């Protein structure tokens, strides 16, 4: 059923940050958008009537949309990073998230969204506005009586260059990704949670659904309107509360992966009923209280990779081009890696899973074959891996010998110490342990030197 809309779809493009482009856009934005009112309630704005021409760049074909759930304790802060570098931050946790953003290399926010004015979503927002350039700010237009909300308004007030957008149905281009704003329930008839700004983020066939603290009433309304798409990724509504899902909603969305943004709380989040509902549809579930930061890398073909905890911050230290070439150690679906140019060709598309068993029983240096790396071929074809290398952070490398094959669905094990290879077991022949027990990086490269997979622990 097509989505009923109160108005024609409108498009705004947040284009890449070239100097010339920025200057042009600044003019366009100034001409098109009225300024946000500075006296509190933003109602009455009609910024949504505007359209800046579709200025999306022609995107590279193999790139990554990153959706990072920051570990902000009990609250939400979701960072979207388009392949071309544009950023959106959906909610900003209860406390200051600026250090986390800086840790991830974020210097500016193109679109800042407050899903609803509760403190676990907007508590850190004023600091973001005060600390880095923000271009667009969106909320549902509902005022709140708290000091936290007033502080947010004051921060916006001090930055008149930020363009206000009310969360009306519209589509926003974030580089080559698209953000669709879904219709809200009417104002004034329900709790703040059920007027959470709801966004569908699309990048090729990869689809993410973010809806703040939506509860049953809002989710039921969205299902009824037919606007809940099949989704790759769901941010668990309302921190995995038992009122943050309905069977109809999960049936419509059928997410492959669910991320619960949650910390210590007195509400019992996430609730057992929600967890079993997610398990019941076969979704993989990640939780910020267990996994730390959770980054989902969405690929245009609908596949995705997952990075967690330290791995997320480490990825931020890798240059953008390299980051896009990296297959995450834990990657699912038909995810194809990305923009490596001709040299990277065949092998970088290979789904190989790497894990490292760094801590040998006893003294690692005396039990060298108690330490090993495992490669698993998740392709439905055999991979010829002769000439491929597996290296640690300090560039201790093992090169697979002539004739080495990683059979479809099969594994090979690379032991640190000496031994006789048999086609499934290989030996680095090292005199001392290689894999650092406190964390290391295993990089698998193909015969051309192109990175196939990086496993960081
Ligand atoms: Zn909340």
Q: How far apart are CA 177 and CA 87, in angstroms?
A: 11
Q: How far apart are CA 134 and CA 122, in angstroms?
A: 15
Q: Ligand 1: distance of its center to the CA of 267 in Å?
A: 11
CA 58, distance to chain mean position in Å, is: 22
Q: Ligand 1: distance of its center to the CA of 243 in Å?
A: 12
* Model confidence, pTM: 0.66
Q: Is the CB of residue 194 less than 8 Å from the CB of residue 214?
A: yes
What's the burial of 318, exposed, middle or buried (CB within 10 Å: 0-12/13-18/19+)? middle
Q: Ligand 1: distance of its center to the CA of 263 in Å?
A: 11
Query: Pick from 199, 251, 189, 241: which is nearest to 220 by CA?
Result: 251
Residues 292 and 346 in one domain: no
Q: Is the CB of residue 239 less than 8 Å from the CB of residue 287?
A: no
Q: Ligand 1: distance of its center to the CA of 274 in Å?
A: 15
Residues 266 and 196 in one domain: yes
The string of pLDDT tens digits covering residues 367-418 is 888 898 989 887 777 888 888 899 988 888 898 988 888 988 888 999 998 8
Residues 284 and 150 in one domain: yes
Number of domains in the chain: 2
The string of pLDDT tens digits covering residues 240-293 is 999 999 999 999 999 999 999 999 999 999 999 999 999 999 999 999 999 899
Residues 77 and 192 in one domain: yes
Question: Which residues span the domain enclosing 413?
Answer: 340-456
Instruction: Kindly list the distances between the CA atom of residue 362 and the CA atoms of 106, 358, 418, in Å, as whole numbers in the listed order.
Output: 42, 12, 18
Tokens, residue 48? 């949504």
Q: Which residue has the higher pLDDT, 438 or 14?
A: 438
Q: Ligand 1: distance of its center to the CA of 118 in Å?
A: 7
Residue located via tokens 């589509």 = 171
The pLDDT value given to residue 350? 67
pLDDT higher than threshold 50 for residue 36: no
Q: Ligand 1: distance of its center to the CA of 96 in Å?
A: 16
Residue located via tokens 């001409």 = 31
What's the burial of 453, exposed, middle or buried (CB within 10 Å: 0-12/13-18/19+)? buried
The string of pLDDT tens digits covering residues 427-446 is 998 888 899 888 888 888 88
Residues 245 and 137 in one domain: yes
Eight-state DSSP code of residue 328: B
Domain holding 88: CATH number?
3.60.15.10
CA 322, distance to chain mean position in Å, is: 17
Q: Ligand 1: distance of its center to the CA of 111 in Å?
A: 20
């Amino acid at each position: 059923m097509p989505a009923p809309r109160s108005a024609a779809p409108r498009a705004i493009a947040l284009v890449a940050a070239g100097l010339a482009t920025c200057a042009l856009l600044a003019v366009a934005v100034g001409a098109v958008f009225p300024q946000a009112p500075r006296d509190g309630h933003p109602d009455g704005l009609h910024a949504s009537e505007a359209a800046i021409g579709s200025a999306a760049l022609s995107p590279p074909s193999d790139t990554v949309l990153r959706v990072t759930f920051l570990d902000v304790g009990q609250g939400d802060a979701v960072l979207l990073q388009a392949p071309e570098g544009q950023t959106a931050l959906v909610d900003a946790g209860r406390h200051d998230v600026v250090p986390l953003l800086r840790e991830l290399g974020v210097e500016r926010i193109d679109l800042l969204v407050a899903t609803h004015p509760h403190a676990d979503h907007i508590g850190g927002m004023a600091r973001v506005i005060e600390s880095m350039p923000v271009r667009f700010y969106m909320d549902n237009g509902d005022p709140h009586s708290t000091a936290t909300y007033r502080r947010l308004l004051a921060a916006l007030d001090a930055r008149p260059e930020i363009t206000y957008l009310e969360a009306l149905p519209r589509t926003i281009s974030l580089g080559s990704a698209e953000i669709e704003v879904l219709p809200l329930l009417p104002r004034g008839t329900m709790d703040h949670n059920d007027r959470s700004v709801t966004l569908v983020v699309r990048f090729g066939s990869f689809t993410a659904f973010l809806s703040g603290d939506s509860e049953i009433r809002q989710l039921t309304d969205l299902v009824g309107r037919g606007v809940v798409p099949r989704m790759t990724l769901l941010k668990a509504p309302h921190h995995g509360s038992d009122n943050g899902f309905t069977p109809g909603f999960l049936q419509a969305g059928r997410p492959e992966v669910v991320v619960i943004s949650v910390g210590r709380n007195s509400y019992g989040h996430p609730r057992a009923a929600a967890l079993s509902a997610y398990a019941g549809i076969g979704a993989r579930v990640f939780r910020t209280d267990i996994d730390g930061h959770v980054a989902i890398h969405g690929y245009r073909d609908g596949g995705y990779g997952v990075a967690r905890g330290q791995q997320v911050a480490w990825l931020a230290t890798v240059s953008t081009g390299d980051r896009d070439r990296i297959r995450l150690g834990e990657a699912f679906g038909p995810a194809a890696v990305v923009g490596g140019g001709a040299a990277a060709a065949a092998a970088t598309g290979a789904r190989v899973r790497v894990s490292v068993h760094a801590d040998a029983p006893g003294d690692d240096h005396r039990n060298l074959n108690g330490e090993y790396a495992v490669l698993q071929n998740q392709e439905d074809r055999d991979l010829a891996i002769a000439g491929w290398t597996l290296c640690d952070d300090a560039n201790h490398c093992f090169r697979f010998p002539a004739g080495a094959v990683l059979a479809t669905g099969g594994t090979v094990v690379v032991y640190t110490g000496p031994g006789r290879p048999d086609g499934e077991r290989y030996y680095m022949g090292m005199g001392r342990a290689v894999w650092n027990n406190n964390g290391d990086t295993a990089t698998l490269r193909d015969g051309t030197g192109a990175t196939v997979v990086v496993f960081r622990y």
